[in-house]
Structure 1
Amino acid sequence: MIRSRLFSALPRRSFATKVNGNVRAIGTSPVVQKSAAPNDVDMEESNSRFMLILGKPGGGKGTISKKILKDFPSFTHFSTGDMLRQHVREQTSLGKEAKTHMDSGGLVPDDLIIRLVLDEAEKEAESGNSLLLDGFPRTMEQAKALAESVDVDLVVELDIPNETIVDRIAERWVHPASGRVYNLSYNPPKVPGKDDITGEDLIQRDDDKPETVRKRLEAYEQVTAPLVEYYDEKGVLKTFAGTESDVIYPKVNKWLNSKV
């Protein structure tokens, strides 16, 4: 099992939730030490949550996450997909390694993605805020590695039909230098094929092409879908099905309000 120098090196703070007025610890998270009165720390810990958002690639996890962050500002969003793409754009050694897997439609290997999450978490470690983790874990090995450091309190699963995802991603175009994303249906560029800010050409990423998307969906069903059963058995998962985020999100919001 892969263990983290991050979680072994940094002091830990318990994530906790209140049950009938009592505080129940639900895990630990690394934090950066800062001066605070003891009472302030207790209040932060009693309100903290550790939440995951699961779903197929291109299934709207980023869109739903943004809505959650707007309505629940205590959460900090942590997206492995965004971080991976940043490393690819910057052509870091990790990014070059990840790109070979992304371009072929395969999942990034566990050891690489865990290294990414832990390195980035060390840089962005918060002091007591709730955390919304997007795009991780993707495999049972990752989930078990995460469980060594924290207990997950809430899991949102988005169940979107495959063909809806293929059609949606096929219309996605990107400005490679900045990472700005456009969609021909609901967020088109002002000038077809051009970035709104720079006027430079937009591209379709190799991992957004229909044939690659279908491979990614197949890989998800084989490798990631078992996580749904894993977290469902723990009693922390809620599944939301549909094709439109504006229809799905009100149900997500209602559920989270009943939990947070």
Structure 2
Amino acid sequence: MKKLFLIIGAPGSGKTTDAELIAEKHDNITHYSTGDMFRAEVKSGSERGKIINKYISVGNIVPIDIAIETILGAIKKTFTDVVIIDGYPRSFEQMNELDKYLANEIEVELVNVIEVEVSEEVARERVLERARGADDNVEVFNNRMKVYTEPLAEIQEFYIRKNLLHKINGERTIDEIVEDIDNFIQSRI
């Protein structure tokens, strides 16, 4: 059975970098970033990529069916026992759809949801410093932050009730954060 870990956090929380570094350390862990999967689809020029671009270019959430198709495809294709997906779920609806899928899935178990916590000030500073693409500017950041924070309390409450939420302080050095998350994941697999 594949063990799934979800990493959530504000834009600029470092969740993608943290997950990448953990996956690099272990042969049995695959990492997928929903953001990277979406950007790759946009870059491919496909019809799905054009639809995705309409949403991410302004910092909005990609429609649930497209996100679920992308994520499920990735999990099913991986050859490792452990999968880390960062940046998902970003809405209560996404969380519910994923939960419905996993309730009927015998090959994939959601082990934990890890929240990398950072203040809005730290997140904004990091995003504007990295400026990876057209979606890294103040206006888009503010919208992405709003989109992230609006459903956050409901998402936290849902996973707390299921005893699946684990919070990590994301305002430390990358090495400290990665070690903390990696140790937690290793203790759960």
| TM-score, normalising length: structure 2 | 0.84
Measured in 2, the distance between the counterparts of 1:247 and 1:231 equals 24
- Would you say 1:228 and 2:156 are equivalent positions? yes
Moved over 4 A (4+): none
Question: Does structure 1 conserve the Cα–Cα contact (< 8 Å) formed by 2:127 and 2:136?
Answer: yes
**Structure 1 residue 139: deviation in Å?**
2.0
- Identify the match of residue 121 of structure 1 among 70, 74, 77: 74
Measured in 2, the distance between the counterparts of 1:217 and 1:225 equals 14
SS in 1 for 2:88: coil
- Identify the match of residue 25 of structure 2 among 52, 63, 71: 71
- Identify the match of residue 96 of structure 2 among 117, 141, 144: 144
Greater relative CO, 1 or 2 (CA 8 Å, sep 6+): 2
SS in 1 for 2:157: helix
SS in 2 for 1:107: coil
**Structure 1 residue 212: deviation in Å?**
0.9
Pick the structure with more helix per residue: 2
* CA distance 1:130–1:161, shift in 2 (3 Å): same
Ranges in structure 1 where 5+ consecutive residues have no aligned partner: 1-14, 16-47, 175-204
- Would you say 1:170 and 2:128 are equivalent positions? yes
Residues 185-224 of structure 1 aligned to structure 2 (within 5 Å): 205-224=133-152
State how many pairs are aligned. Answer: 182
State, as a whole percentage, how many aligned pairs show the same letter: 30
1:222 partner letter:
E
* CA distance 1:224–1:94, shift in 2 (3 Å): farther
Measured in 1, the distance between the counterparts of 2:148 and 2:112 equals 21
| TM-score, normalising length: structure 1 | 0.63
Question: Does structure 2 conserve the Cα–Cα contact (< 8 Å) formed by 1:110 and 1:139?
Answer: no
Question: Does structure 2 conserve the Cα–Cα contact (< 8 Å) formed by 1:105 and 1:212?
Answer: yes
Measured in 2, the distance between the counterparts of 1:165 and 1:110 equals 25
Measured in 2, the distance between the counterparts of 1:229 and 1:89 equals 36
Question: Does structure 2 conserve the Cα–Cα contact (< 8 Å) formed by 1:159 and 1:240?
Answer: yes
Deviations 1:47-99 (A, max 9, x none): x4221111112211111102221334311112211110011122221121121
Question: Does structure 1 conserve the Cα–Cα contact (< 8 Å) formed by 2:33 and 2:85?
Answer: yes
Q: Which segment drifts farther, 209-218 or 225-234?
A: 225-234
SS in 2 for 1:94: helix
SS in 2 for 1:81: helix
**Structure 1 residue 251: deviation in Å?**
2.1
Ranges in structure 2 where 5+ consecutive residues have no aligned partner: 103-108
Match of 2:105 in 1: none
